Amino acid sequence: MNDAFATDPDLRHLARLLAMLPGRDDIAFWATVDNGASTIVEPGHTGPGTAGPEYILSKMRSGIAKLNKAEDPAAVAYFSHYLLMFFDGDQPALWKYLNDRFSAHGGRSTAGERYTRDLCDTAWRIIARYDTLGDNDLAELWPGHPR
């Protein structure tokens, strides 16, 4: 196990944020997530299409299992790409759903948006730190520039 990876504060924070989400049995929530994700056009597709709650839930289950193991940084970075796909961007319906959930715990009317931004910011830091795309050598990409 990579000790630095296992003790990364962003991993702990991501796990805490994910634990705040409704469970997989909350079909209305995951349908709301799916509706937000349906505006995404993936490479190779000609237009937006819905991922479907079952697809989202399968990615969440797999990614959370990898996050809990804290053994494979690239796998958690890969999962973080899905978190951005599902939760990033302007999603007022998702924010409202989360506002209502968090208001029971003293949350404010902006808690849903704040939550998704924190989740996505954390996911992005994990991607930037552990995604294998960052393994390129800068000198190879920009030859002739001093290091």
What are the angstrom distances between the C-alpha of 12 and each of 68, 82, 103, 140? 9, 18, 24, 34
Residue 36 resides in a domain:
no
Map residue 41 onto helix, strand or coil: coil
Buried b (16+ CB within 10 A) or exposed e, 99-116: bebbeeeebeeebbbebb
The residue segments making up the domain with residue 81 are 11-16+51-132
pLDDT for 135 beyond 90? no
Supply the pTM of this predicted model: 0.82
Q: What is the pLDDT of residues 27-84, one digit of tens each?
A: 999 999 998 876 544 444 444 455 678 999 999 999 999 999 988 999 999 999 999 9
> Looking at this protein, which amino acid is placed at residue 129?
R
Residue 82 resides in a domain:
yes
Number of domains into which the chain is organized: 1
